[in-house]
């Protein structure tokens, strides 16, 4: 019975030391980043992506009209394979509400969305842009 308690105690100590080392590494990484040496990669928040996406469409009046809340048509994004209810809510939070917006995503937009939503190539793999363009073509032909 004594050896069981000893093993339990040792496992608890090992877990505690592992947790402590993890915290030290995190603190060290944050410290280096705040003092200019070897800064960790910048995190992109949803508001940053929303701002970037909003300004990415201002190249001409057509793009500006497409992203204007008053003009933008709110499409059912779940019609695109790979976009479910949860992802739709996240895209809406970033200001993406229409097929036209998805059809006009740039490589930078895709990279930002992948980073924020932790997709790693899902947009390209499921061909969201191609699907959005096809859905827009079907709508225009109706």
- pLDDT tens digit sequence for 19-62: 878 877 766 555 544 444 444 444 545 555 555 555 544 433 33
Concatenated DSSP letters for 5-59? HHHHHHHHHHHHHHHHHHHHHHHHHHHHHHTTSSPPPPP--HHHHHHHHHHHTTT
Q: pLDDT tens, 69-105?
A: 544 578 999 999 999 998 898 888 888 899 999 999 9
Q: What local confidence, expressed as pLDDT, does residue 100 receive?
A: 92
The single residue listed with the structure tokens 């969305």 is: 113
Annotated domain spans of the chain? 1-40, 46-141
Q: Which pLDDT score is estimated for 94? A: 86
**Of the ranges 44-48, 117-121, 126-130, which is most confident?**
126-130
Six-digit token pair at 41?
């990669």
Q: Which of 127, 74, 126, 61 is nearest to 100 (CA)?
A: 74
């Amino acid at each position: 019975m004594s050896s069981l308690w000893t093993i339990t105690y040792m496992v608890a100590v090992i877990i505690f030391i592992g947790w402590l080392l993890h915290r030290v590494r995190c603190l060290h990484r944050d410290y280096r980043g705040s003092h200019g040496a070897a800064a960790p990669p910048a995190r992109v928040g949803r508001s940053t992506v929303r701002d970037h996406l909003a300004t990415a469409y201002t190249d001409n009046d057509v793009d500006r009209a497409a992203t204007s809340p008053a003009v933008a048509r709110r499409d059912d994004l779940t019609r695109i394979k790979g976009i479910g209810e949860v992802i739709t809510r996240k895209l809406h939070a970033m200001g993406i509400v229409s097929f036209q917006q998805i059809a006009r995503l740039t490589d930078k937009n895709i990279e930002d969305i992948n980073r924020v939503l932790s997709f790693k190539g899902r947009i390209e793999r499921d061909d969201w842009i191609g699907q959005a363009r096809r859905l827009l073509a079907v709508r225009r032909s109706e």
